[in-house]
Structure 1
Amino acid sequence: MQIKNILVSQLAAVGLASALPQASPTPTATPTPAATPSAFNILTLRSASDIHFNEFNAALGSVFLQLPNNNATCDTTSDGAATFYLSEGGLYLYSNSNPPQQLYADRSGMGQGKFGYVTGAQPPPRNAELTGWGLDDAGNLNLDGAGFLACPNSIQDSWSVWVNAGVDQPAGNSGCLGFSARAVENTDPNACLYTE
């Protein structure tokens, strides 16, 4: 909840700033990409939808929104939100396990944007992409520029999360929505081992 409140405040400040009179444009330096936070949560941005201001959850080797129980084993009590970090183009779940749980996307015709994670020595699916993850200038997570979709009616009435592979309704789902996946720095991350 604290992360959501921080982002709402930041967005409100930007909205208020845009209403102020603007000075004449002056040349500026080339913008630099958003700094990569060491640990972050993901907040979904899709105005006027059921998934606006939700956080990513991780369970059973997949990523969800609005999952009531992820059964993760954590250092301290978990609020259910998954915490991530980036390293050398790879995306990982924040934990003390070695090797860490690594995220992948399968954007092949068979995978249609499947977004999940592998644990330990578990091999990723054949067409899985493990690297290419990053944050854009606004701080949104992407895979080589590809954004995300969420599809309703998954386990425990949650939404399943997919990487956009050019398929509007992956794996026969319906009612899927595109959204921005905003990285919000987590200064007190909780190390968790998520279910396989």
Structure 2
Amino acid sequence: MKFQLLSLVSLLLTATTAAPSPAKPKTFDVMALRSASPIHFAQVSAAKSGLFLNLPAQNATCKGGQSSDHATFYVENEELVLYSCEGVKQKVFVDRSGMGQGIVGYITGDAPLPRYGELKGWKVDADQNLWFKDTALIACPSSIDGSWRIWLGLGLQKPGGNEGCLGFTARTLPNAKPVSCRYTQL
């Protein structure tokens, strides 16, 4: 009886002193909605420090040798983060300056932001659409491997000198089983 009581007390003490595991972020994928266009239903990929639509291969290094043909994200403190269960975060920035013209990219860990780069301002609205400071995204053709590079829609005719850009709705899709990946840098 004494042994059972000691075992029970030990079990209770272990249960109450164990640190709770951190909450898993609400992860999602992003799909472009732009009817009657080559980007309609295209999922967002991450590669070479940028975000793309219709990228054939993002060449990310994923946990367990898995692969993913699109990127997975979460929003934390108004920052858009590429999903990885590893310690170093990859965060998405926007450069709305005259030099950046709305370019969207990402940095890894403590890498410096572009001079006018901004991390905070991302949100998912009630309709499950992704925005940066209430501004929608656009995509411009003729990027790497025939993909479309993602920019912030600042109303410029040719952001970064690109022609034929299309605005789109960035619809988030819940992803309950995300693949943990590290995306390539420039």
TM-score, L = length of structure 1:
0.79
2:44 corresponding residue in structure 1: 56
RMSD, aligned α-carbons:
1.1
| Pair 1:145 & 2:120 matched | no
Pairwise mapping of residues 24-173 of structure 1 onto structure 2 (< 5 A)? 38-76=26-64, 77-173=66-162
Say which SS state the counterpart of residue 168 (structure 2) adopts: strand
- Contact 2:47–2:184 at 8 Å: present in 1 too? yes
Shift of 1:93: 0.1
Cα offset for 1:168?
3.2
Q: Which amino acid aligns with 1:38?
A: K
CA distance in 2, matches of 1:114, 1:41: 20
Larger radius of gyration: 2
- Secondary structure of the residue that 1:190 maps to in structure 2? coil
**Alignment deviations for residues 139-168 of structure 1 (CA, whole Å, 9 cap, x no partner):** 110011000010000011110000112213
Q: Which runs of 5+ in 2 are unaligned?
A: 1-24
What letter is aligned with 1:140?
N
* Local SS of the residue matching 1:182: strand
Contact 2:56 2:69 in 1 (8 A): yes
TM-score (norm 2): 0.83
Q: Percent identity?
A: 47
SS in 2 for 1:171: helix
Give the ranges of 4+ consecutive aligned residues of structure 1 lying more than 4 Å apart after TM superposition: none
**Number of residue pairs matched?**
160
